[in-house]
Amino acid sequence: MKYKIRKDLSVEFKGIKLYRIERLSDRSIGGYVESESNLSQKGNCWVGGDAKVYGKARVFDDARVFDDARVFGDARVFGESWVYGNAKVLDYARVFDDAKVLDYARVYGNAKVYGCGFVYNNGLVYGNAEVYGNSWVYNDAEIYGDVEIYGNAQICGKARICGNSKIKSRKECYVFHCESYPITVTPQNVSIGCQNKTHGEWLEVTKKQAIEMGLDENLYETYRDLVKIGIKIVTNS
């Protein structure tokens, strides 16, 4: 055994009783777990600071969860990955290899962050999305659906990518910051607000249809022009 649960150092959190852990080798106090099943007794994995791991979540191998981070649900954090800051990993999400999830980032659903994937500064990754390679998701970017972000891609600036997009470089995602909704263009799709369509589908959208989607009728031509420009940029056409 490398740690013990301190029953005398407990807190009630969202109706769940959590306990501090104590490292046996130096008697240092760590973060909170609900039970020993949340943190492996093997490897160098650790929960530190005021971090909380509970539910059926597990931290193992050499992974670290610290600061005010939370790992819960059926989530798994393993390998040499780190989850810290105010980050949350929940549901059936997986964070592993050398991945980092920090700040106020959220990884949930069946999402995976691995390799040297980096999610931070309010980045959201959920659904069946995967972030891996040396890719980054940050600055309010939102990745979901069956999207794959990999290679050296950097997705940021309120970008919203969904569907089945696959982004492997910085050049394959372009975001226009408009008054009402950001426009995110990838090699496969275009997202305006919560509307996601293929390139061809967006170019066929009429003004009436755009208004029914909630888009500003006065910006219809602007949206069309920006979509065309974005498509040229990401497809090098």
Give residue-wise pLDDT tens across range 220-236. 888 888 888 888 888 87
pLDDT band at 43 (very low <50, low <70, confident <90, very high): very high
Burial, 151: exposed, middle or buried (Cβ in 10 Å; 0-12, 13-18, 19+)? middle
Strands of 106-107's sheet in order across: 3-13, 16-23, 29-33, 52-53, 70-71, 88-89, 106-107, 124-125, 142-143, 160-161
Residue 194 has pLDDT above 80, yes or no: no
pTM of the model: 0.88
Query: What's the mean pLDDT in 198-212?
Result: 88
Residue 237 has pLDDT above 60, yes or no: no
- N residues, the chain: 237
What are 96-110's pLDDT values in tens digits? 999 999 999 999 999
Percent of the chain whose predicted confidence (pLDDT) is above 90: 66
Residue 94 has pLDDT above 80, yes or no: yes
